[in-house]
Amino acid sequence: MSRKSQEKFREFHRYLGFFLAGIMAVYAFSGIILTFRNTDTFKKKVAVEKVVDANLNAEELGGVLRMRINAQEPENGVIVFNGDGRYEISSGKVSYTQTAYPVVLEKMNRLHLMNTTNPLFWLAIFFGLALMFFSISAFFMFNTGAPIYKKGLYFAVAGALLTVVLLIV
């Protein structure tokens, strides 16, 4: 590889690295938070009150609220569910509490769960492609005969193998 093209790869790699540092910081922070998603860490309790269709049974109520309902038998026209939830059968009034991330954390975590229905899905595609370029372009920054190049290849293979082993186990 010529010195000029090697310098171009270094330049692209450098500026892309600076740009991706900000994106990676957000992904890293939200990734740490997602590690605790099966707990209520970082979440706050939110009171929800709304009116839905009247005369629903517990199963239908769960479908309307888009949540699992663990309901007791109706008493005095009220279905009590999930400990503190109440549904008035005749009026359709529902009140319950749920845990949720604060708005900023919720938006950050959606980056990890993104699909094509999210208008920012292009960011995830760009980020993946940029990281792929970033990792490949690192190998064009050194002469292929240099000892650091060979060591870099060993480390890259070791990192890929470790990831595959951890995914299988």
pLDDT tens-digit map of 125-168? 888 888 888 788 777 777 788 888 888 889 989 998 999 999 89
Q: pLDDT value at position 23?
A: 80
Residues 34 and 110 in one domain: yes
Per-residue CA distances from 165 to 44, 109, 154, 158 (Å):
36, 26, 16, 10
Residues 140 and 66 in one domain: no
Residues 81 and 108 in one domain: no
Residues 115 and 69 in one domain: no
Residues 95 and 122 in one domain: no
Query: What is the rounded distance in angstroms from the CA atom of residue 108 to the CA atom of residue 99?
Result: 17
pLDDT in tens, 82-101: 888 999 999 999 999 998 88
Q: Cα angle at 160 between 118 and 123, to 5 degrees? A: 20
Query: What is the rounded distance in angstroms from the CA atom of residue 82 to the CA atom of residue 71?
Result: 6
Q: At what angle do helices 121-137 and 3-35 cross, to 10 degrees?
A: 130
pLDDT in tens, 39-70: 888 899 999 999 999 999 888 998 999 988 88
Section 69-74 average pLDDT: 87
Residues 142 and 123 in one domain: yes
DSSP letters for the chain:
--HHHHHHHHHHHHHHHHHHHHHHHHHHHHHHHHHTTTS-TT-EEEEEEEE--SS--HHHHHHHHTS---BPPPBTTEEEETTTEEEETTT-EEEEEEEE--HHHHHHHHTTT--TTSTTHHHHHHHHHHHHHHHHHGGGSS-TTSHHHHHHHHHHHHHHHHHHHHHH-
Q: Structurally, how many domains does the chain consist of?
A: 2
Section 5-31 average pLDDT: 81
Residues 114 and 152 in one domain: yes
Query: What is the rounded distance in angstroms from the CA atom of residue 65 to the CA atom of residue 98?
Result: 12
For residue 78, give its domain range.
Answer: 44-100
Residues 95 and 113 in one domain: no
Listed residue (41, 44, 73) closest to 57, CA to CA: 73
Residues 26, 32, 34, 40, CA torsion sign: negative
Asked whether the whole model's pTM tops 0.75, one would answer: no
Q: pLDDT value at position 150?
A: 86
Residues 69 and 143 in one domain: no
Residues 78 and 61 in one domain: yes
Residues 131 and 157 in one domain: yes
Residues 35 and 108 in one domain: yes
Q: pLDDT value at position 88?
A: 93
